[in-house]
A = this chain, B = another copy of it.
Amino acid sequence: MIIDDLALLDQPNQQFQGFGLIRGAQLAQTKKGDPFYNLSIAKGPKELPVKVWSDQINGREEEVKEVLQEGRIIYFEGDTSTYQDQLQVTARSFRPVKENEVNLSEYLETAPEPIEDLQKELEGYIEEIMDPLIQEIVSTVYTKYKKPFSSYPAAVKNHHSFVGGLLYHTVCMIRLGRDVSRRYPSVNKDFIIGGITLHDASKILEYTNHIAPQYSVPGEFIGHISMSSMLVDREVQKILAARGEKAQLTKLEQEAVYQLQHCILSHHGRLEWGSPVEPKTLEAHIIHLIDMIDSRINMIDRGLAEAPEGHFTKVFPLGKIYKPSIDE
């Protein structure tokens, strides 16, 4: 019997013909010097090691390298076996997936609300910004990067590490930020909405892709905090250029832009947590704390999803968290 769903493989000597998402791909060499691939192939939460031996590689190295990349979905055929107590698959053949052969969402975890709804909601919030310059900056950056902004995760692991995680995290934070604004009249909602929308925006530059994200070179060298602030600066430069050669911002416009950039730069809250400046406005303090609330709740919800009730479970990086017993 041939199994066509990766999620069903569970013992040695099964035959498989089907699809899988490459989450990890490393080219290695046998002791004899033959090339082979160690892949890690997943469907949803199921993930298995897959070997591709040299007979499938020799003579078409470049083509294989192109196909077996992290983040790609492939069709492959193979057999299961056990190696060091662990189930693995040896691929006998493989090819790239064809368009529309698979439903992507079966292979990747995605945000718990529809992306389109989240986009609409966020766009509505951006329209609420009353300062026209801040609205223009935020809206332009969002519009320009709307596609990756809607697909990238908010973190490589821990919290919101799923397709659409950045968008979902942003919207959840604004929901809470608007609640806070409603409660405390001294809060300037423009910076809450604008600052939250852009605070992690350049995660789309910090990670290599949205399916099997790694830190990119600019992610390592510059970091999303600085790059998000830089996105604001680029818009300001363009707006100035459009206004004419020697145009300058008014004093109040300039102050507003500095405040927006400050909300972004200070949102990790402390120097030792990676912010080059610490919060110095009311809104910057609030954004930092809302970020902690939303990300911790997401970490805990995800970390306890499969955990036993009435026990403590380690949820990185928070340590032990208790999942309460249920009254039966």
Show the binding face of A for B, using Cβ within 8 Å: 10-11, 31-32, 172, 175-176, 179-180, 183-184, 186-188, 217-218, 220-223, 225-226, 229-230, 233-234, 237, 251-252, 255, 258-259, 261-262, 265, 271-282, 285-286, 289-290, 292-293, 296-297, 300-301, 310, 312, 318-322, 324-325, 327
Contacts of A10 in B (CB 8 A): 31
Checking B265, B281, B292, B324 against A289 with a beta-carbon cut-off of 8 angstroms, the contacting residue is B292
What's the least CB distance linking A316 to chain B, in Å? 14
Alpha-carbon gap, A237 to B237, bound state (A)? 10
Contacts of A172 in B (CB 8 A): 183
Alpha-carbon gap, A218 to B230, bound state (A)? 14
What's the least CB distance linking A182 to chain B, in Å? 8
Copies of this chain per assembly: 6
CB-based contact A285/B322 at 8 Å: no
The DSSP consensus for interface residues of chain A is helix
11 more CB-based (< 8 A) A-B contacts, given A11-B32, A226-B226, A237-B237: A179-B180, A217-B255, A217-B258, A221-B280, A222-B262, A251-B325, A271-B272, A271-B273, A282-B301, A289-B289, A289-B296
CB-based contact B186/A176 at 8 Å: no
CB-based contact A286/B297 at 8 Å: yes
Contacts of A223 in B (CB 8 A): 265, 276-277
CB-based contact A324/B271 at 8 Å: no
Contacts of A324 in B (CB 8 A): 188, 255, 259, 281
Most chain B beta-carbon neighbours within 10 Å: one of A186, A187, A318, A324 = A324
Alpha-carbon gap, A319 to B271, bound state (A)? 14
